[in-house]
Structure 1
Amino acid sequence: MKHLFLKTFLVLAIISSGNLFAQDSPAIIESDTIFFDDFSGSSLDRKKWNVVGTDFWVNNEQQVYVDSTATIFNVKGDDARGAENALVLKAHYSPNYIKYRGNDFDFISGRINTRDKVMFTYGTAMARMKLPEGSGFWPAFWALGGGDWPATGEIDIMEYVGETDWIGVALHGPGYSGETPLVNKYFFPEGEDVTSWHVYSVDWTPEALNFKVDGRLIYRVTKPMVENYGEWKFDNPKYLILNLALGGAYPYKTNGVEEPYNGLPESTVELIKQGKAEVLIDWVLIKK
């Protein structure tokens, strides 16, 4: 337990100062931490996370989610690729895996969330992640309210659609959903891209949301900005989601690819077949 609190403190040290320094302060972190997972166990902690299955499909995504150790698993050491431990969300080519809602699916992938296990209102949510190169990959780290969409709000802390030099952040709610005006792209500095480890976070207060990458403020949305378009739906509990989608609406809007799959070019299909469709998550933290 002490190791968990110490690691959490070091996480906060990185974000607040940009430097890693050792200081053991478990009492402060224990009172400040709402949720923490560093994926150090042998498998996903089901007390903290739900796993989405094949009965879920949105946004014309080209995969189905499956509850399987093939798509959701923990790794250590060299397999964690620069982290001590990591969660892996992995997509696979699996021809004719399932027919669902009139569609044939040739890909499987992983999606997890904290719904009804960890719900929070205000605070900072952050994750350290390493993303794959390939047009049409669509991993995301985000938060939803517990009710109908978009009536209870959506916070997109990080979305990536396969252009390695940028990620997107956004808010969705009634009057500003889908093609939301409350959206921003963050372009990495020269020499950086999504394939390296980065910390993606949001600071959420009753009056604003501040989106950050590696502690850098990249977008600020205030309550009056939201109320220009609709109701502020960010006073209610939300849960975290991590997923790796393939193709679909947002990638297609970015790359215009129609074949062989909507938003998913043949070059990326080959990467999936080669086992290179992996999102790694070092840790996830929610603090007050």
Structure 2
Amino acid sequence: MALLMPASLLMVSATTSADAADAPQNTTNARQAKAKGKAKLVAMPQIVQQGKKPASAGSAKAALTATIKPAKAGRPVALQVQKGKKWKTVSKTKLTKKGLAEFGAPISKGGKALTYRVTAAPYKGAKAVTSKPTTTERWLTASFSDDFTGSTLSPSWSNRGIYYEPDSLRECSKGDPSAVSVSGGTVKLSVIKDPTRANERCVAKKDGKSTGSFDYRLNGHIGTEGSVSMRYGFAAARIKTHKLRGQHGGFWMRPTTAGGGDPRAEIDVVEYFGDKHPQGGLTSFIYSTKNNKAVKTGSWIKSPTSFLKNKKDGWSKNYHVFSVEWTPKMYVFRIDGKETYRTKVGVSDQFQFPILSLLSSDYEISQMPGGDKKLPQTMNVDWVRLWQA
């Protein structure tokens, strides 16, 4: 059953076509008259919640994505919610070059699912089109949710990477509980100086060459291995990143040890390498194995500022929801419900568990402006949610 797509992921469509009696006589216009307009709408979980302060995961908005054909960039598209026998427009946007219209809207009212549809107005020769309704019912309840309330981690989480590991390119840093704290409804993952090695210096290396000597570091690095895992569905985390280069924050997933499988099967939902990074700082990667060889798929997220709300927004200034949609055939990555990247390469069929980390790897330590004096650096995570498909 886990291999079957949930009904709510199936995109629904409606079509319109020109009346044959009114079709123009010339060949070009005749083809246009026969062309069908299509509108498809998909409802997803609550993965839209940009904001300055911590907020309840339950108040996040559901993501809804419409695909409109013909794809005419700039075409007005409206999202409507059903109220009795009537439809009310709740949001408007314009079609992208790829024919997408992406929305964030409430997932429920009074605990009950909502039904939505999209309508696209006539535009540059394209006739008006309306999608069939789709409901948010499938995603009302997450299979795992942690809002990081209280002052300690829940039993679901444990610390990772607690040894200095040269083979993992972290000879100068290791995971430690003292770099993790819970307060104000968030878990704070930091890179701090290791007080037990205050009188020592570590020689950091990049590509086997020294980049200088630095303080030993402790990393915030936690996961739910042996406690919480999933296979297929959505995984999301609301994160406000750290600021400076020299370390990278991450929300990622690794396979459980039970059942064997590919030990390299890793899903890097998002990594952030600091403000003012020349390539924008955000990445999504997939690790897998093919023909006994390691395969790395993914890249720097293109035009990352286009996913910010405005010029005052920023990854280290405000919270954003980073998510992955995982099906048996594909990964789709999103920021606040807007697609950043998709791939069919290296899709895992194993159960995976979520990980949160702020890691200071040897190859990047020398990149931090101000060096050791700028420690600590901190990444804040407001909540984590999984929706098992």
Q: TM-score, normalised by structure 1?
A: 0.74
Match of 1:139 among 215, 240, 249: 249
Aligned 1:7-18 pairs, distance under 5 A? 7-11=56-60, 13-16=61-64, 17-18=103-104
| AA partner of residue 362 (structure 2) | G
Residue 87 in 1 paired to residue 187 in 2?
Answer: yes
Which one has a larger percent helix, Structure 1 or Structure 2? Answer: 1
| AA partner of residue 271 (structure 1) | K
Tell me, in whole angstroms, the C-alpha distance in 1 between the residues paired with 2:216 and 2:354. 27
Residue 281 in 1 paired to residue 381 in 2?
Answer: yes
Match of 1:108 among 218, 222, 241: 218
Cα pair distance change 1:29/1:270, threshold 3 Å: farther
In structure 2, the gaps of 5 or more residues are 1-54, 65-102, 114-136, 205-213
Decide whether the 8 Å contact of 1:74 with 1:87 is kept in 2. Answer: yes
Look up the SS of the partner of 1:270 in the other structure.
helix
Match of 2:286 among 151, 167, 171: 171
Give per-residue Cα distances to partners, 1:45-75, cap 9 Å, x unaligned: 1x2111125336353233211123xx11111
Tell me, in whole angstroms, the C-alpha distance in 1 between the residues paired with 2:268 and 2:287. 8
What is residue 151 of structure 1 aligned with on the other side? 263
Cα pair distance change 1:91/1:285, threshold 3 Å: same
Cα pair distance change 1:212/1:42, threshold 3 Å: same
Tell me, in whole angstroms, the C-alpha distance in 2 between the residues paired with 1:66 and 1:114. 15
What is residue 209 of structure 2 aligned with on the other side? none
Decide whether the 8 Å contact of 1:160 with 1:167 is kept in 2. Answer: yes
Decide whether the 8 Å contact of 2:244 with 2:369 is kept in 1. Answer: no
In structure 1, the gaps of 5 or more residues are 1-5, 77-84, 227-231, 252-260
Match of 2:109 among 23, 26, 29: 23
Residue 207 in 1 paired to residue 315 in 2?
Answer: no
What is residue 255 of structure 1 aligned with on the other side? none
| AA partner of residue 194 (structure 1) | W
Give per-residue Cα distances to partners, 1:219-277, cap 9 Å, x unaligned: 0111xxx2xxxxx451110011101111434x4xxxxxxxxx4x4435242221xx4x1
Tell me, in whole angstroms, the C-alpha distance in 2 between the residues paired with 1:123 and 1:20. 20
Structure 1, 169-178 or 128-137: larger mean CA deviation: 169-178
What is residue 141 of structure 2 aligned with on the other side? 32
| AA partner of residue 122 (structure 1) | Y
Residue 161 in 1 paired to residue 278 in 2?
Answer: no
Give per-residue Cα distances to partners, 1:168-195, cap 9 Å, x unaligned: 00100114747x2433424222624321
What is residue 130 of structure 1 aligned with on the other side? 240
Cα pair distance change 1:75/1:22, threshold 3 Å: farther
Cα pair distance change 1:7/1:279, threshold 3 Å: closer
Which one has a larger percent strand, Structure 1 or Structure 2? Answer: 2
Tell me, in whole angstroms, the C-alpha distance in 2 between the residues paired with 1:36 and 1:142. 16
Match of 2:351 among 196, 213, 237: 237
Decide whether the 8 Å contact of 1:75 with 1:87 is kept in 2. Answer: yes
Cα pair distance change 1:24/1:89, threshold 3 Å: farther
| AA partner of residue 217 (structure 1) | E
Match of 2:299 among 183, 187, 198: 183
Q: How many residues get paired?
A: 247
Match of 1:41 among 131, 135, 150: 150
CA root-mean-square deviation: 3.2
Tell me, in whole angstroms, the C-alpha distance in 2 between the residues paired with 1:93 and 1:219. 35
The structure with higher relative contact order (CA 8 Å, sep 6+) is 1
Decide whether the 8 Å contact of 2:245 with 2:367 is kept in 1. Answer: yes
| AA partner of residue 280 (structure 1) | N
Look up the SS of the partner of 2:225 in the other structure.
coil
Decide whether the 8 Å contact of 2:320 with 2:336 is kept in 1. Answer: yes
Percent of residue pairs bearing the same amino acid type: 22
Decide whether the 8 Å contact of 1:53 with 1:65 is kept in 2. Answer: yes
Look up the SS of the partner of 1:182 in the other structure.
strand
Shift of 1:161: 1.4
Decide whether the 8 Å contact of 1:96 with 1:105 is kept in 2. Answer: no
Structure with bigger gyration radius: 2
Cα pair distance change 1:168/1:48, threshold 3 Å: same
Give per-residue Cα distances to partners, 1:73-108, cap 9 Å, x unaligned: 1111xxxxxxxx111012212366399xx9996111
| AA partner of residue 385 (structure 2) | L
Q: TM-score, normalised by structure 2?
A: 0.56
Look up the SS of the partner of 1:110 in the other structure.
strand
